[in-house]
């Protein structure tokens, strides 16, 4: 693993090779391993070590980047040359800023440091440890006469960012993730969990829940498409919401590709919706600095249904101040959400917390019990954007979809296709649970509640 | 390089592996993009490393390292064996591989102009010229252009004696124009959406795409979409352009024929397949005129799925997938072929890079053009009433690959054999086999194009792979149209 000292050593080596006006070096990588199982057998089992050095050079108002994992002097020299030669031949970009200073990077330092996200026990996990956990998952499957498929992955990684103006950032963390699908003859169930600390994961409990869903959804009925009240488990909620946050960057507004164009400061969601971005939240993960080394700030994105603030990289904040949108988007300042430069996206919030605005919380069981007729959704799949401004998304239900009647799960149902405006969706949320750290397949991990939502638009039914 | 292989193969054998292969990959990429006249991306990337795959105690293990010194390579080989022994703790049978004679080969993508030999200034000039054309059209609020080059050099050795060196050169380019007005964001792309066209070729592809020549038309269409009527919700006739048909093939034929999906190996993430083993040579997948092949050979063209050998050392092949409408073949690996009793892998195993294991991936999964001459113009003139849809905008399909829904960037009414009004937000949906059985016409060779899909995701950890899809415009009857916008 990369140490902070070695990161500085690599940076000094690169500096000696560079003739650029300014220089930035990002170093990221580590060790990762993933044990994959299907048909109650470990069928793929991999491990990887890799470290990538990413060099950004600036000449005047021209910049380019080169990445390499060839960390010998020759490899680094070639990367420096590549970044510099691509930068030199460009036209000047008047909106490009000089690199951040330590003062820029430290603006708005949080009152509380993020919790440590590195756990030795997770970093030390072996293939045998993961196989042992998988063996217990398969044991649950066999006992229930089901077939298990899934993964158990662990990793340790680090990110270092240094620039020629003196910014120096270093972060390391571990990660553990389990995903389990239980397959029966005509049904299936699924569970997934992720944490920086493997000790927070309980493979057997996840396996038992997935198995129960597979068993309870056997012999699925076919319901007609239409608008239903749905109870969405947290994984389903996050996979839908994940499609919103690409639009929360200031550059998306400046580009007029965001569904929030002309909507910042407007109440477009229900009164019960609060959303913020906070890298320091105890259930979050990731580095506390952005792609230029700026400290990530806590930003309230939605306040009681009103879109209250965007997130900003340094350049986007400068451009926004001089734009026609400046008077309409609230407080403009770098928030530490930029991607490494140069890029076309700008920025986005990556540490999302969705918290019900009221103190009233309902468990998943209470949501089901309060539903006269509706559908319980475990997981969604293959979600894509149909319309970028109304934010209509399409996708499928998967691995545990149930009919709810008179407050009880009645039966499994065949999977639905939905076409649903997310603006309407967040107007129709009736009740929510406490937020939890959730993990899906269509979006990044978030802290979100389960939601009961009326008038969810199922447009078609598939054959299983 | 051979010395690296000797270290890995020797260590694996000494530690009791019954099989070992090693891929050393030297990967170089360049990405250049502009947005509204300024540089959006300018990145050069290199990645070098080795991936070692072993069978020990009857199970798989894989370890990859970015350090090609002897000590690290031998440690990675030892780790792969350790991992395989851990895999063996949860298995129900010994692994078996379909036999494959060891090959020795040296193959390069045919490439006229090395894209990395072209000056960056030249690349930028082309993109900025396109950008100016796009933004010269009133109403365009965002113009994006991009160019990508890749040189992927791989050495493959196996304990069975294979020794294969391959160099692939990939070029891609394209652009998109957006127009925001009131509450609508309209978009047109060229020559395809999500990055344009990609092939296993050199910079000569860029000149052939006629990028600048089409820019103004594409931008004008993006603006005109605001005033176009909404695509109706109905059941009717649809004609798909060749790029959209390419994606339809990818999602509703290419993925379900992957034998690892069929056998449940992807059940947790990508999903399974409705094409269970009993359907081979019994299922009527499509109408009589539907003929689909998975063809990795050079004869098929410079698709992203063209190579000489796959990443298990199996030679490129052409496999009939659908023959006169009948389902006739899967995409397989040495392991999955053995599992269903096939004598040989169909040669489709590919890895994203040195640090990933090979998986079954689509090669060039293409529909064959019609044999009788039929132009797009002829096809439209023989259609009384329908909608012509162009360029994908959204795509989604269930995890067994039955129910799909696609949205396109633009549609055109067809009335009495003529193109009529422009339609915005066209979409269609259906069930895979019902859809392919409703195909009643496909254009002939002159309209056939080999599209590249550079962004196909599969596997855990996820791998992104390029696939090829040859297609010509085709007509489908009784298709469900327009339900995507019921979500408003």
Please, is B278 exposed, middle or buried when counting C-beta atoms within 10 Å of its C-beta (0-12, 13-18, 19+)? exposed
Task: Give contacts of B49 with chain A, Cβ < 8 Å.
Answer: 50, 69
Q: Which residue of A has its CA nearest to B44?
A: A66
| Residue A18: domain span | 4-30+49-103
Instruction: Nearest by CB to A49, from B65, B395, B425: name it.
Output: B65
**Do β-strands B365-367 and B359-360 pair in parallel, antiparallel, or remain unpaired?**
unpaired
Question: What is the least distance, in Å, from the CA of A359 to any CA of chain B?
Answer: 31
Judge: A398–B398 Cβ closer than 8 Å, yes or no.
yes
Question: Which residues lie across from A411 on neighbouring strands?
Answer: A403
Suggest the residue from A203, A224, A259, A387 to mutate for an interface test with chain B (most B CBs closer than 10 A): A387
Question: Which residues lie across from B390 on neighbouring strands?
Answer: B410
What distances in angstroms separate CA B142 from CA A255, A339, B36, B185, one per listed residue? 6, 20, 6, 10
Residue A326 has pLDDT above 90, yes or no: yes
Question: What is the least distance, in Å, from the CA of B45 to any CA of chain A?
Answer: 4
pLDDT (0 to 100) of residue B209? 98
Instruction: Reply yes or no: is the peptide bond before residue B188 cis, omega within 30 of 0.
Output: no
Return the residue matching tokens 């060099």. A55
Q: Which residue of B has its CA nearest to A68?
A: B46
Residue (of A164, A365, A349) closest to A249 by Cα position: A349
Question: What is the least distance, in Å, from the CA of B372 to any CA of chain A?
Answer: 36
Task: Give contacts of A32 with chain B, Cβ < 8 Å.
Answer: 461
User: Is residue A131, in this structure, part of any structural domain at all?
Assistant: yes
SS3 B213: helix
pLDDT tens track for A10-45: 999 999 999 999 999 999 999 999 999 999 999 999
pLDDT (0 to 100) of residue B486? 75
Domain count, chain A: 3
Task: Give contacts of A68 with chain B, Cβ < 8 Å.
Answer: 45-47
User: Is residue A43, in this structure, part of any structural domain at all?
Assistant: no
pLDDT (0 to 100) of residue A114? 82
pLDDT tens track for A338-360: 999 999 999 999 999 999 999 99
A87 in the same domain as A130: no
ipTM summary value = 0.96
Instruction: Nearest by CB to A82, from B39, B44, B144: name it.
Output: B44
pLDDT tens track for A160-187: 999 999 999 999 999 999 999 999 999 9
> Could you give the CA distance from residue B319 to residue B330 in angstroms, rounded to a whole number?
8
Judge: B83–A127 Cβ closer than 8 Å, yes or no.
yes
Cβ B316 vs Cβ B363: under 8 Å: yes
pLDDT tens track for A251-306: 999 999 999 999 999 999 999 999 999 999 999 999 999 999 999 999 999 999 99
Q: What is the DSSP string of B253-313?
A: IITTTBHHHHTTTTTTTT---S--GGGTTT-B-S-TT--EEEE-SGGG-S-TT--SB-TTS
A187 in the same domain as A163: yes
A99 in the same domain as A145: no
Question: What is the least distance, in Å, from the CA of A113 to any CA of chain B?
Answer: 31
pLDDT (0 to 100) of residue A107? 81
Phi, psi of A242 (to 5 degrees): -55, -25
> Could you give the CA distance from residue B100 to residue B159 in angstroms, rounded to a whole number?
12
Instruction: Nearest by CB to A419, from B91, B183, B486: name it.
Output: B486
Judge: B42–A183 Cβ closer than 8 Å, yes or no.
no
- For chain B, domain boundaries: 2-227, 234-487
User: Is residue A302, in this structure, part of any structural domain at all?
Assistant: no
User: Is residue A290, in this structure, part of any structural domain at all?
Assistant: no
Judge: A420–B487 Cβ closer than 8 Å, yes or no.
yes
**Do β-strands B234-240 and B197-199 pair in parallel, antiparallel, or remain unpaired?**
unpaired
Suggest the residue from A185, A385, A417, A444 to mutate for an interface test with chain B (most B CBs closer than 10 A): A417
CATH number at residue A96: 3.30.160
Judge: A50–B263 Cβ closer than 8 Å, yes or no.
no
Task: Give contacts of A27 with chain B, Cβ < 8 Å.
Answer: none
Judge: A150–B268 Cβ closer than 8 Å, yes or no.
yes
Residue A109 pLDDT class (50, 70, 90 cuts): low
Suggest the residue from A192, A386, A389 to mutate for an interface test with chain B (most B CBs closer than 10 A): A386
Boundary residue ending a domain (A69, A103, A137): A103
A206 in the same domain as A124: yes
pLDDT (0 to 100) of residue A108? 76
Question: What is the least distance, in Å, from the CA of B326 to any CA of chain A?
Answer: 21
Query: CB under 8 Å to B87, separation ≥6 — which residues?
Result: A35, A42, A43, A45, A127, A131, B57, B59, B60, B61
User: Is residue A363, in this structure, part of any structural domain at all?
Assistant: yes
Residue A413 pLDDT class (50, 70, 90 cuts): very high
Cβ A265 vs Cβ A273: under 8 Å: no
Suggest the residue from B93, B333, B354, B403 to mutate for an interface test with chain A (most A CBs closer than 10 A): B403
Residue A111 has pLDDT above 80, yes or no: no
Judge: A46–B83 Cβ closer than 8 Å, yes or no.
yes
Question: Which residues lie across from B92 on neighbouring strands?
Answer: none
Tell the CATH topology of B2-227: PmbA/TldD fold (3.30.2290)
Phi, psi of B272 (to 5 degrees): -110, -150
Instruction: Reply yes or no: is the peptide bond before residue B461 cis, omega within 30 of 0.
Output: yes
Chains A, B: CB pairs < 8 Å:
299
> Could you give the CA distance from residue B483 to residue B476 in angstroms, rounded to a whole number?
17
pLDDT (0 to 100) of residue A110? 61
| pLDDT, tens digit only, all 488 positions of chain B | 899 999 999 999 999 999 999 999 999 999 999 999 999 999 999 999 999 999 999 999 999 999 999 999 999 999 999 999 999 999 988 999 999 999 999 999 999 999 999 999 999 999 999 999 999 999 999 999 999 999 999 999 999 999 999 999 999 999 999 999 999 999 999 999 999 999 999 999 999 999 999 999 999 999 999 999 999 999 999 999 999 999 999 999 999 999 999 999 999 999 999 999 999 999 999 999 999 999 999 999 999 999 999 999 999 999 999 999 999 999 999 999 999 999 999 999 999 999 999 999 999 999 999 999 999 999 999 999 999 999 999 999 999 999 999 999 999 999 999 999 999 999 999 999 999 999 999 999 999 999 999 999 999 999 999 999 999 999 999 999 999 987 56
Instruction: Nearest by CB to A93, from B38, B88, B121: name it.
Output: B38
**Do β-strands B326-327 and B349-350 pair in parallel, antiparallel, or remain unpaired?**
unpaired
> Could you give the CA distance from residue B59 to residue B56 in angstroms, rounded to a whole number?
6
């Amino acid at each position: 693993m990369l140490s902070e000292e070695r990161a500085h050593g690599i940076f000094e080596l690169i500096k000696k090779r560079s003739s650029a006006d300014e220089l930035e070096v990002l170093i990221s990588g580590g060790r990762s391993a993933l044990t994959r199982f299907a048909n109650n057998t470990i069928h793929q089992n991999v491990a990887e070590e890799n470290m990538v050095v990413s060099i950004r050079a600036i000449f005047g108002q021209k910049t380019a980047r080169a990445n390499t994992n060839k960390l010998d002097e020759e490899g680094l020299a070639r990367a420096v040359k590549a970044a510099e030669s691509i930068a030199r031949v460009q036209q000047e970009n008047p909106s490009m800023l000089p690199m951040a200073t330590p003062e820029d990077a430290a603006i708005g330092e949080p009152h509380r440091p993020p919790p440590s996200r590195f756990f030795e026990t997770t970093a030390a996990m072996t293939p045998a440890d993961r196989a042992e956990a998988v063996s217990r998952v398969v044991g649950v499957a066999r006992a229930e006469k089901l077939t298990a498929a899934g993964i158990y992955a662990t990793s340790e990684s680090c990110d270092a960012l240094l620039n020629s103006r003196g910014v120096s950032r270093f972060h390391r963390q571990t990660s553990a993730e389990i995903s389990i699908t239980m397959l029966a003859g005509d049904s299936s169930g699924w569970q997934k969990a992720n944490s920086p600390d493997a000790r927070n994961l309980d493979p057997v409990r996840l396996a038992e829940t997935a198995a129960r869903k597979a068993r309870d959804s056997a012999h699925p009925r076919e319901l007609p498409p239409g608008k239903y009240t749905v109870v969405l488990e947290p994984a389903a909620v996050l996979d839908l919401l994940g499609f919103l946050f690409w639009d929360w960057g200031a550059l998306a507004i400046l580009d007029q590709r965001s569904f929030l164009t002309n909507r910042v400061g407007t109440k477009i969601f229900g009164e019960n919706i609060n959303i913020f971005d906070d890298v320091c939240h105890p259930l979050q993960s990731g580095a506390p600095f952005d792609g230029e080394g700026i400290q990530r700030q806590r930003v309230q994105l939605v306040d009681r249904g009103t879109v209250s603030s965007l997130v900003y990289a340094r350049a986007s904040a400068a451009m926004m101040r001089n734009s026609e949108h400046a008077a309409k988007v609230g407080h403009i300042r770098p928030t530490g959400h930029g991607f490494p430069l140069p890029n076309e996206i700008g920025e986005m919030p990556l540490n999302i917390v969705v918290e019900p605005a009221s103190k009233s919380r309902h468990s998943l069981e209470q949501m089901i019990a309060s539903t006269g007729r509706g559908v319980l959704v475990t997981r969604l799949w293959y979600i894509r954007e149909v319309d970028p401004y109304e934010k209509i998304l399409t996708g499928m239900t998967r691995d545990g979809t149930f009919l709810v009647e008179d407050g009880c799960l009645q039966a499994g149902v065949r999977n639905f296709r939905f076409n649903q405006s997310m603006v309407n969706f967040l107007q129709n949320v009736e009740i929510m649970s406490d937020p939890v750290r959730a993990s899906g397949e269509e979006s990044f991990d978030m802290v979100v509640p389960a939601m009961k939502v009326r008038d969810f638009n199922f447009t078609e039914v598939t054959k299983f | 390089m051979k010395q690296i292989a000797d270290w890995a193969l020797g260590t694996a054998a000494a530690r009791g592996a019954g099989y070992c292969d090693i891929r050393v990959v030297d990967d170089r990429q360049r990405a250049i993009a502009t947005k509204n006249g300024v540089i959006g991306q300018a990145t050069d990337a290199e990645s070098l490393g080795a991936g070692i795959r072993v069978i020990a105690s009857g199970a798989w293990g894989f370890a990859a390292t970015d350090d090609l010194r002897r000590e690290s390579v031998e440690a990675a080989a030892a780790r792969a064996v350790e991992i395989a022994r851990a895999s063996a703790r949860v298995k129900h049978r010994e692994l078996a591989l379909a036999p494959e004679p060891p090959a020795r080969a040296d193959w390069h993508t045919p490439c006229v102009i090395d894209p990395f030999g072209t000056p960056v200034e030249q690349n930028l000039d082309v993109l900025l010229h396109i950008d100016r054309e796009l933004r010269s059209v009133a109403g365009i609020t965002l113009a994006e252009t991009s160019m990508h080059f890749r040189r992927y050099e791989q050495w493959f050795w196996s304990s069975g004696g294979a020794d294969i060196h391959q160099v692939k050169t990939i070029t891609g380019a394209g652009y998109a124009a957006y127009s925001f007005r009131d509450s609508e964001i309209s978009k047109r792309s060229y020559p395809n959406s999500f990055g344009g066209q990609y092939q296993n070729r050199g910079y000569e592809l860029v000149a052939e795409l006629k990028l600048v020549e089409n820019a103004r038309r594409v931008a004008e269409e993006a603006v005109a979409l605001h005033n176009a009527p909404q695509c109706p919700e109905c059941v009717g006739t649809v004609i798909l352009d060749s790029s959209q048909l390419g994606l339809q093939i990818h999602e509703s034929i290419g993925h379900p024929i992957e034998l690892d999906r069929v056998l449940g190996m992807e059940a947790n993430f990508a999903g399974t397949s409705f094409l269970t083993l009993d359907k081979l040579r019994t299922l009527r997948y499509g109408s009589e005129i539907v003929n689909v092949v998975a063809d990795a050979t050079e004869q098929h063209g410079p698709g992203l799925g063209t190579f000489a050998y796959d990443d298990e050392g199996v030679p490129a092949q052409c496999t009939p997938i659908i023959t006169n409408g009948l389902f006739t073949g899967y995409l397989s690996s040495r392991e999955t072929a053995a599992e269903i009793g096939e004598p040989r892998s169909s040669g489709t195993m590919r890895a994203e890079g040195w640090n990933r294991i090979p998986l079954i991936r689509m090669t060039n999964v293409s529909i064959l053009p019609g044999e009788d001459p039929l132009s797009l113009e002829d096809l439209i003139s023989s259609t009384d009433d329908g909608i012509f849809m162009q360029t994908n905008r959204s795509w989604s399909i269930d995890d067994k690959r039955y129910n799909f829904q696609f949205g396109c960037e633009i549609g055109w009414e067809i009335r009495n054999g003529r193109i009529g009004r422009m339609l915005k937000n066209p979409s269609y949906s259906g069930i895979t086999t019902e859809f392919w059985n409703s195909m009643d016409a496909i254009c002939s060779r002159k309209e056939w194009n080999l599209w590249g899909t550079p962004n196909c995701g599969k596997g855990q950890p996820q791998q992104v792979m390029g696939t090829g899809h040859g297609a010509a415009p085709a007509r489908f009857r009784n298709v469900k149209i327009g339900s995507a916008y019921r979500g408003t």
